[in-house]
Chain A
Amino acid sequence: MVDNSEILERFKTEATLTGAQVFLACSVEEATEYVLKLVSDKDIKVVVKSGSPIADRLGLTARLAAAGVKVTETSITQWAAQMARGQDVPVDKLAELISAAAGEQVPAEPEAILQVARRILKEVYAGAGLGITEADFGIAETGTLVTLENEGNARLAAILPKLHLTLLDGSRIAGSLADAAELIKGSSGGIQSHKLPTFITYLTGRNTTADIPGAIFARAQGPDEEHILIFRA
């Protein structure tokens, strides 16, 4: 791994200035402890998450479940897998499981499953105490987190829950906006098609509004707090 400690330091400083709470974890244990402490401190019972290699490496879903926290996967593929308890099930069996969860009869067709999943997930996002997503990389000069996706679940998991935690690989920090654009161009060929990912989100700090007098930097329509866990092990 190249030594990027300077750029990482800049990212931490800038991200902190934007109002995010930044923590650098140098081991699996340190990272896991941080998340477990966060859910316990904030008394969080329900977590939604999008696909995250870092979370997988930390075994985060299992650790959270062991701590009594319900974790819902938000990518529809993984959500369906969660419904099927990890079993490879045929579509009619999956529809049956979802019907039971949704309390309504869901036809055994992918389109119907998609529509029900969308409807159920909307409520799950909004009811969650914490959304966990993983950024593809950070931008040091602005303290920005960049997330690339085609499905749209990561951006919903980042905005609808009460708190948001972004996991970030400490080796993946671009220096500037210009570097970020290069990274995006470089990676887009590899993401499912030749076009750019459908959603590229730059998140810089915590959502605010100045529209209500007397509440200048108040939380607007997204989460109450932005946490960033940089994992560097």
Chain B
Amino acid sequence: MNAPMLSPAPTYSRAAPEPSGIRLVDIESQATPAAFPLPASGFRRDSTPSTWPDAWLINAVRRDPPDEDALSALVDRYWKTLFARCRLLEHDRESASDLAQEAWLRVMRARHSLEPDGNFHGYIITVATNLWRDRNRVAQRAGAAAEGSMASLDASTTSDGGETMTLIDVVPDPRTLSIDDQILLEMDLDQGLDRLSPHLRDVLLSRFVSGESAAEIGQRYSRTEQTITGWIREAVREMKAYLTESQSLGTRAEN
């Protein structure tokens, strides 16, 4: 029996205090940002929400009814990075956009518990990632094909210890490629990610994009650090194998 993969409620990490040392959460009931004491220097107040710091925007979004302009500014500020992360998780652009929007819906439904002092960017990325994990977990439970995937979760992937994460012999630096070749590399990379099982894709992104340690990922999966390290290496190996196989990449690598 596999331990369930849990997606704990995302929590905020405290953001660095404002330069003035003000705790914005303490004045969340402020009706307008105009009443907000400004930092001593280095910040100019502006009446346009797009220039407000996150804490002001979050305070305005928490209110009933939420401030539409503040929400708009907050969505605009984080939409692109959120979409980009979702794009790595999902197999196409449309699904990525849906996932990003669903993350915003979750945030809106839980908006009263938003912490103005929190790391909002990290929070919404976590919300989206948890949604994606939950969907995969449900799909794995339900799908017949999931049997194989779940079995592989318990199979401790052996690590030869000598595997390198460097792809120099497979992939040239994308920035040295022509625009057309960059598009091809992008497609290859997407297809390579799509071929990974959800748990390998998750650990790969958690490690190299989110910067989580193997121990941290292991806690989420109820697996040892060693097992997670094995999964990461397996994911890299699979990516490398796919990119090597790719005809278009092979051609580029020769040039």
- A, B from the same assembly: no
Residues of chain B having any CB pair with chain A under 8 Å: none
